[in-house]
Amino acid sequence: MMKMREVKPCSDTINDEASLRISFKNGNKEAFARLYTDYIDLLSNDGLRFSTDREMVQDGIHDMFTDLWRNRAHLSDTDNISGYLLKALYNDQGCLRRWLSGLRSQLFKLKKNPDFFRLCG
């Protein structure tokens, strides 16, 4: 197994995306926070093109970052962090797709309820 190189604290070493990615993969919490703050606006704005429900988009993004943190050691290398994050948000297992799938499932169950239209009216 390859040994990970030691990374200095985030604030001293992160001046490019490659250093940020390496620090994040090595478990640097400052790098995680920096990824979030650097990309939250891009992800939010793009997510709002997918759904107008701002809260759902934010929840999907937060879930995605949680998944990234849990699986950080197994993430593939990339020089395009923004593209990687956008793909993670929208891919087949992406958080926004899971959220929408869950909402569709709940709506389908509601529509099967004989009182659905009375409840909506």
6-32 tens-digit pLDDT:
434 444 445 688 888 899 999 999 999
pLDDT at 28: 95
Residue ranges of the chain with pLDDT lower than 50? Answer: 1-13
Question: pTM of the full predicted structure?
Answer: 0.65
Distance CA 14, CA 22 (A): 9
The 3-state secondary structure of 28-79 reads CHHHHHHHHHHHHHHHHHHHHHHCCCHHHHHHHHHHHHHHHHHCHHHCCCCC
Phi, psi of 78 (to 5 degrees): -155, 150
Q: In whole angstroms, how far apart are CA 42 and each of 8, 39, 51, 110?
A: 27, 5, 14, 34
Residue entry with tokens 């979030």: 36
pLDDT at 52: 82
- List the one residue out of 41, 87, 42, 37 whose CA is nearest residue 67: 87
